[in-house]
Amino acid sequence: MNCLISAGPTREWIDPVRFLSNPSSGKMGYALARAAVDRGMQVTLVSGPTALKAPAGAEVLYVETAREMQEAMSQRFAKADLIIMAAAVSDHRPETRSKQKQKKEQMRMTLDLVANPDILMELGKQKKNGQTLVGFAAETENLLPNARRKLREKNLDWIVANDVSEKDRGFQSDFNKISLLSKEQNEMDFEYQEKNSLARKYTSMLLLAT
Ligand code: CTP
């Protein structure tokens, strides 16, 4: 069985020394990749910039921008049985990327942004029978309603609802507390625990359902 996972942040460059990004460490996606390898899956990990070691046994494709991540994910998508979009994709990028470092005196004090593609939404449109598509919902409020809306709007089979408002979980942390919601309205709440053990538990769940 083939498993395709994205992890980490994307970087959207303003010029060669500045970018827009987010605090994602990639730990959850890498833990998922390790758990899927341990379950005997063929794993491809599409990773934004992180400080983590490549998970043994997985093929890793390194990308930086949302558009590079989209290209890597769509190339591998058709062959994948289980696709988990754990990356924290930057929703926007600067309208222009300057080739030269911009000097501070000459920089405009506002940044013009354009929308990045919603990678998961596009994968949801291409999904075929037999493929299981899983997304994350990183929320600071209205966690479950927002997660259910994303599950529906992005045509997902499962969504991992992740409260990122607390310091002791989510972005950067080794720990997390999540709920797994299915399109059939099932809800499984997992206890607060290390991302590694969490990944093992819900990878097993997802495999049973794939
Ligand atoms: N996602 C994506 N491409 C984007 C933005 C998000 O593929 N441009 C994916 C994420 O990897 C995640 C899911 O969509 O699996 C939800 O991401 P999240 O940041 O929670 O939500 P958004 O769709 O960006 O919506 P909002 O920022 O309004 O909460």
Contacts 24+ apart (CB under 8 A), 54-58: 55/30, 58/33, 58/34
The pTM (predicted TM-score) of the whole model is: 0.96
Residues 18-71 pLDDT 10s: 999 999 999 999 999 999 999 999 999 999 999 999 999 999 999 999 999 999
Say yes or no to pLDDT of 2 above 90.
Answer: yes
Average pLDDT in the 70-77 region? Answer: 98
- Rounded Cα distance between 177 and 11, Å, is 26
- Rounded Cα distance between 141 and 164, Å, is 9
Say yes or no to pLDDT of 209 above 80.
Answer: no
Q: Which residue ranges have their beta carbon within 6 Å of ligand 1?
A: 66, 85, 87, 89, 91, 116, 118-120, 135-138, 150
Exposed, middle or buried by CB within 10 Å (0-12, 13-18, 19+), for 49?
middle
Say yes or no to pLDDT of 74 above 90.
Answer: yes
% of the chain at pLDDT higher than 90: 89
Residues 172-184 pLDDT 10s: 889 999 999 999 9
Strand pairing class (178-182; 187-189): antiparallel
Taking a C-beta distance cutoff of 8 angstroms, is the pair 12, 92 a contact? Answer: yes
pLDDT band at 165 (very low <50, low <70, confident <90, very high): confident
Which atom of ligand 1 lies closest to the CA of 137?
Answer: 20
